[in-house]
A and B are shown apart, each in its own frame.
Chain A
Amino acid sequence: QAGLTQPPSLSEGLRQTATLTCTGSSNDVGYEGAAWLQHHQGHPPKLLFYRNNNRPSGISERFSASRSGNTASLTISGLQPEDEGDYYCSAWDSSLSAWVFGGGTKLTVL
């Protein structure tokens, strides 16, 4: 099954702002929007947003999400050391009837 496209890595400075992108198609990201996950090694993925910009309870407001066409974006402001990790996007592909994932972006906080 086809996947979503994420840049493999991103580095930003402490207390700066990072913007991660996720590009799909009208069948997935452009259909019902994307979910964003934060994943630290040895821990389960943590849902940050679902269907674009719906934030589950307990997620910091330093995290925000948006979508433009078939590209979803995750913005993290005031970067902290604990924000380092892997970030994945996912979406339901209506043409494949399947969940598709991006390959993940490894965020480094300098």
Chain B
Amino acid sequence: EVLLVESGGGLVQPGGSLRLSCVGSGFIFSKCWMTWVRQAPGKELQWVATIREDGSVEYYVDSVRGRFTISRDNAKNSLFLQMNSLRVEDTAVYYCVDPDLSWGQGTLVTVS
């Protein structure tokens, strides 16, 4: 069974930082592009960032570029999202995603 389990969400003040983690199992993590997607309360799904399977290239939505950093540790089947300079509008449930396989349960980030 493919599983993606996020952690690291919580309440943080504007300007603060958080680091989200995601551990994958049930598939060959090191061969997959991995993605973070978020959904703010009452809003649509929004793509946040993607990283290639070997970590060589990262892609970001404009609104987080320069503030967020996506990374991975294939030896630990882990994906990360370092979020700095957080804003109120970053409040959302953040999902760890392999677009060809599965979505995680999500972790809530509240900036207030």
Give the size category of A's interface with B. Answer: 20 to 34
Q: What is the 8 Å Cβ interface bit string for chain A, positions 21-53, against chain B (1 contact, 0 not)? A: 000000000000001010100001111001100
A45 touches B95 (CB 8 A): yes
B59 touches A88 (CB 8 A): no
Tally of chain B residues near chain A (CB < 8 A): 20
CA distance A88 to B37 in the complex (A): 13
Task: Write the chain A residue with the least CB distance to B96.
Answer: A44
Q: In whole Å, how far is B97's beta carbon from the nearest beta carbon of chain A?
A: 8
Q: Is B106 interfacial (CB-CB < 8 Å)? A: yes
Q: A44-B95, A104-B44 are in contact. Are A99 and B37 (CB under 8 A)?
A: yes
Known A47-B103, A54-B100, A104-B45; 12 more pairs at CB < 8 Å: A1-B47, A35-B100, A44-B103, A44-B104, A47-B101, A50-B99, A50-B101, A56-B2, A88-B44, A90-B47, A101-B46, A104-B44
Listed by A's residue number, 5 A-B pairs whose Cβ atoms lie within 8 Å are: A1-B62, A44-B95, A90-B47, A98-B59, A101-B46
